[in-house]
Amino acid sequence: MTEPSIADLIRQTAVHALHAAERLLPEWLPEGSRNGREWVARNIARGDRQAGSFGVSLDNGRWNDFADNEAHGGDLVSLLAYLRGCRQLEAAQEIDQRLGLGLFERQEPDPQRDAQRALAAEQARQEAERRSKEALEQLQLRQRQAAQQAAMLWGMAKPADHLHRYLQAKQVKPYTLRLLSQGRLLVPLCSDGHLVNLQIIHPSGDKRYLTGGRVQGCYSPLGRITEGGRLYVCEGWATGATLHAHTGDPVVCALSAGNLKAVAIAMRERYGAALDLVIAGDDDRQTQGNPGRTAANRAANAAEARVVFPEWPDDAPAELSDFNDLHLWRIQHREISA
């Protein structure tokens, strides 16, 4: 039997690494934590301040940083190479040594040993494939259950009052938002026009989604979208409500910077080239790398859309970052001037 190629050895290492993922990931990303079948952590390669956008699947090894389109990969070898800033061969050799696999050791040809390794690698591949399929089925089940819960809560809730503390703080109308007990606002998340999840906003401003619900590629709509008309895509719901009030145009809110690109692409695919698609980005001027502006530009490029940002007056504070911030500052500025 011929000696395996370097590419084969790297693939075999990735399979073994996946089986040891729950040992390796806490070592590589020690500030992370397990969330279901995913390891969620700060992206130490780009100096994340907090966890949230960077996750690694424990079922198939795929990893992704929703705040950085360049940061993604299909296995744990590529993940370690990304974190270490090295080649995949070097990452695979480090994993090989850590797990004591001996894959990269030079040995005399041994047909029986090689056959056993090939069989073990194939069995590991099949097991990883089975686990990946099972994980996908579980994910789809959780998403269906969350969509059912969203429909139930939405039906129970009443139209939101414009005097709600959060709406007053943001100085926006409630539009289609609904209200549950304890002052909890419900923001609908849709996919292809169907309710699939809810963002729940507490009076304090704290936000959360329904457990297991879809988020990526989903959006909260404001206004009626028409073919050939203009459509704004933004991050937060309050930003979207501000844009809708000031322009009269429909808006879809992605609810995070990491979701902007997926939502923009979905809108372009659904409504076609005639849609005047505009990404209304946040301008995180005081955050390293300005993630809001970066995400907006990437979304615009991917969806062939225009992009706009708040135009800050010279005396506007630097901590303001989105269109709702600008709206609130102008209200306060007018009150002071009066």
Read off the pLDDT of residues 193-213 as tens digits, 9 standing for 90 and up: 899 999 999 888 889 999 989
Residues 6 or more apart whose Cβ sits within 8 Å of residue 332? none
CATH code assigned at 66: 3.90.580.10
The verdict on residue 31 lying in a domain is yes
| Both tokens assigned to 165 | 């503390």
- Better-predicted residue by pLDDT, 125 or 241: 241
The verdict on residue 153 lying in a domain is no
Q: What is the pLDDT of residue 235?
A: 95
Q: Which of 43, 75, 106 is the last residue of a domain?
A: 106
Mean pLDDT (whole number) for 255-280: 93
Residue numbers of the domain that contains 59: 6-106
Q: What is the pLDDT of residue 122?
A: 81
In this model, does residue 121 exceed pLDDT 80? no
What average pLDDT does the chain have?
A: 88
Q: What is the pLDDT of residue 52?
A: 63
CATH code assigned at 263: 3.40.1360.10
The verdict on residue 78 lying in a domain is yes
Q: Which of 55, 78, 106 is the last residue of a domain?
A: 106
**What's the total number of domains in the chain?**
2
Structure letter (DSSP) for residue 105: S
Q: What is the pLDDT of residue 127?
A: 79
Percent pLDDT > 70 in the chain is 93
Residues 6 or more apart whose Cβ sits within 8 Å of residue 203? 164, 165, 166, 182, 183, 184
Q: Which of 106, 124, 140 is the last residue of a domain?
A: 106
The verdict on residue 128 lying in a domain is no
The verdict on residue 167 lying in a domain is no
The verdict on residue 337 lying in a domain is yes
- State the pLDDT confidence band at 138, using cuts at 50, 70 and 90: confident
Find out whether 71 and 53 touch, Cβ atoms under 8 Å: no
- Better-predicted residue by pLDDT, 108 or 73: 73
The verdict on residue 198 lying in a domain is no
In this model, does residue 145 exceed pLDDT 90? yes
Contacts 24+ apart (CB under 8 A), 244-248: 244/175, 245/172, 245/173, 246/323, 246/327, 248/223
167-185 pLDDT, tens digit each:
999 999 999 999 999 999 9
Q: What is the pLDDT of residue 102?
A: 85
Residues 102 and 220 in one domain: no
260 burial (CB, 10 Å; 0-12 / 13-18 / 19+) is: buried
The verdict on residue 49 lying in a domain is yes
Q: What Cα–Cα distance (Å) separates residue 245 from each residue in 64, 228, 252, 327? A: 35, 20, 13, 11
Distance CA 229, CA 244 (A): 14
